[in-house]
Amino acid sequence: MTSTLTISQLTKTFGGTRALSDVSLGLAPGERVALLGHNGAGKSTLMKIILGLIAPDSGQVSVCGAAPGHASARAKVAYLPENATFHSALTGLEQITYYMRLRGEDTSGAMELLDRVGLGFAARRRIGTYSKGMRQRVGLAQALIGRPSLLVLDEPTSGLDPVSRRDFYELLDGLAADGASILLSSHALTEVEARTDRLLILSGGKMVAQGTLSDLRREAALPVALHVTAHNGHDSDILAALPGAIRVHDALHLNCSQEDKLATLGRITALGGKVADLEVIPPSLEDIYSHFSRRDGQ
């Protein structure tokens, strides 16, 4: 299976500062990949290079078998910019019809496309009267035109309410099932976790981690937090039994590595009636993300 997008050793410098250094990645057909990174990590620059809007300093990029920005690549790639904007004097229908004609698509499907993103009711109103979420949906609608092979989505769910987000990811699932590759950037870590196949973390222009969430969790090897609540008066017994535990308000907090987790749980259960309650808190996606994005650069 040939990949939709291949990038190797990509480097881009803006006036002395390295926006991207030695970035390599590949996207297979049907794969959904999330691109994470703090502001200025190089996400938008990477996307603009893939789209052919800016040229890299060095490295190879191949988009659907062509150079980025080449006419045959542009015909197969859809883009949703961060904070999609359109001419305020046009109606949603006119704007989508225009984009369909540029892609050589039959414009009779414009209304149906707007219905698909839930904008059918406002199709004949000017985009100037739309809310931010509605403009974002016009952006989504134009990214769906003409069955693209690669979708590059820059923070696609910003400005969408939770229900619209769910609908949006369902649309993406359908596209991916049809063989489209999806590269999306996001700050909403929890939704990305459930809805993508792979995560890429950029930090200071470097690719600091890539893999599935469980890969990253294993690689980060962050400790598990245990919160133990003691029955009255048994605090000191428990503290004695669990070296490293500290008292925080009424509970006892303890960190342990993934490997020691079961052994530690065993020791806690052995305390029997002295323990009133126990909470096990695995490292959150935010913790893993911070671990990788701070390891370099900051």
Q: What angle do CA 6, 11, 13 make, to 5 degrees?
A: 145
Contacts with another protein by CB under 8 A: the residue count is 30
**Rounded Cα gap, residues 215 and 198, in angstroms:** 9
- Shortest Å distance, C-beta 146 to another protein: 10
Instruction: Give the binding range for another protein (CB under 8 A) out of 34-42, 79-87, 180-188, 217-225.
Output: 79-87
User: For residues 86 and 169, which CB has a smaller minimum distance to another protein in the complex?
Assistant: 86
Query: Does 75 help bind another protein (rule: CB under 8 A)?
Result: yes
13, amino acid identity? T
Query: Does 94 help bind another protein (rule: CB under 8 A)?
Result: yes
Query: Does 103 help bind another protein (rule: CB under 8 A)?
Result: yes
Query: Does 83 help bind another protein (rule: CB under 8 A)?
Result: yes
- Shortest Å distance, C-beta 134 to another protein: 16
**Residue-wise over 240-266: b if at least 16 C-beta within 10 A, else e?**
ebbeebeeeeebbbbebeeeeeeebee
User: For residues 66 and 241, which CB has a smaller minimum distance to another protein in the complex?
Assistant: 66
- In the numeric block, which tokens belong to residue 199? 């995560």
Query: Does 181 help bind another protein (rule: CB under 8 A)?
Result: no
Query: Does 125 help bind another protein (rule: CB under 8 A)?
Result: no
Other CB atoms within a 10 A radius of the CB of residue 97 amount to: 21
User: For residues 77 and 117, which CB has a smaller minimum distance to another protein in the complex?
Assistant: 77
Query: Does 147 help bind another protein (rule: CB under 8 A)?
Result: no
Query: Does 74 help bind another protein (rule: CB under 8 A)?
Result: yes
Q: For residue 81, what is the DSSP state?
A: -
- In the numeric block, which tokens belong to residue 75? 């015909």
What is the edge-to-edge ordering of all strands in the sheet holding 17-27?
Answer: 17-27, 5-14, 58-63
Query: Does 172 help bind another protein (rule: CB under 8 A)?
Result: no
Torsion of CA 235, 238, 244, 249, to 10 degrees: -30
User: For residues 53 and 189, which CB has a smaller minimum distance to another protein in the complex?
Assistant: 53
Q: Which of residues 21-60 bind another protein (CB under 8 A)?
A: 48, 51-54
Between strands 275-281 and 17-27, the pairing is unpaired
Q: Would you tell me which residues interact with another protein (CB under 8 A)?
A: 48, 51-54, 71, 74-75, 77-79, 81, 83-87, 89-90, 94-95, 98-99, 101-104, 126, 139, 142
